[in-house]
Amino acid sequence: MSELPKTSAMTRLRNYFLTGFVVCAPLALTVYIVWSFVGWVDSWVKPYIPATYNPDTYLSIRVPGFGLIVALVLITLIGFLTANFIGRAIVSFGEHLLSRMPLVRGLYKALKQLFETALSDKNDMFRTVGMVEYPRKGVWSIVFVAGDKRSEINEKLDQEGDPLMAVFMPCTPNPTTGFLMYVPKSEVVLLDMSIEDGAKLIVSAGLVTPDTKQKAAVKGKAIDGPLGNPPVGTLPQPALSNLTASSRPNK
């Protein structure tokens, strides 16, 4: 009987430690990542700042973030200059020079298209989170739905009445890598979770799950044509409709 209070006290101490760890670890990692990023930008920008304008010249301590501020101001200024006629002419001249370099032009065009797509209007980015049966029937994978814009791939592979949709299946725990797949629209099951919640689910390997939200309108209506998940109560959901009659649970 004398061991019970000691065990209970150790359990409470362990719970206190785990609670503190859950609170401190994300905060510490966030501060570390931000601080590392600021230091990385400063290490690139500060060497090019004249000593007259560098506050480190007059102070006994380094001023973190000054290089980042200078970089943000320069990027904004470049964007402002590029928006006018003279700036566009300079950028066009620079791109013309890069297009004549055999190895550099392919890398530059790919990176430019990637950044333009990522920073363009949200209508051209991933619309929502979905699921497809991959790598086999009965096994479902999280995908980000890019859309169903017409392209040569759609023209060559589209089936009558069931167009293809471009989906990106990210890898765990790094969602920046994955597979681009073209899946028939009827086989894509859309989810109500946001892109951010889907990314959290992938990065955490399923440990961080978003709250279930009941919505009157299905997100799939934003994408023309039939989808794999009709509104609840109208037709069977895909996961159930794929089951055979013998494998369905008895009610």
**Partners of 143 in the beta sheet?**
130
User: What mean pLDDT is predicted for residues 89-112?
Assistant: 82
User: In the block, which residue shows the tokens 């009709």?
Assistant: 230
158 burial level (CB within 10 Å; 0-12, 13-18, 19+): middle
Residue 230 has pLDDT above 50, yes or no: no
What is the C-alpha separation between 112 and 108, in angstroms, rounded? 6
User: What mean pLDDT is predicted for residues 198-209?
Assistant: 84
Residue 15 has pLDDT above 60, yes or no: yes
The string of pLDDT tens digits covering residues 104-135 is 888 888 888 777 766 665 555 677 889 998 88
User: What mean pLDDT is predicted for residues 77-95?
Assistant: 82
Confidence of residue 160 (pLDDT cuts 50, 70, 90): low
Residue 111 CB contacts under 8 Å (≥ 6 apart), including other chains: none
Residue 227 CB contacts under 8 Å (≥ 6 apart), including other chains: 185, 186, 188, 189, 190, 218, 220
In terms of DSSP H, where are the helices of 190-235? 195-203
Provide the pLDDT for residue 150. Answer: 67
Confidence of residue 219 (pLDDT cuts 50, 70, 90): very low
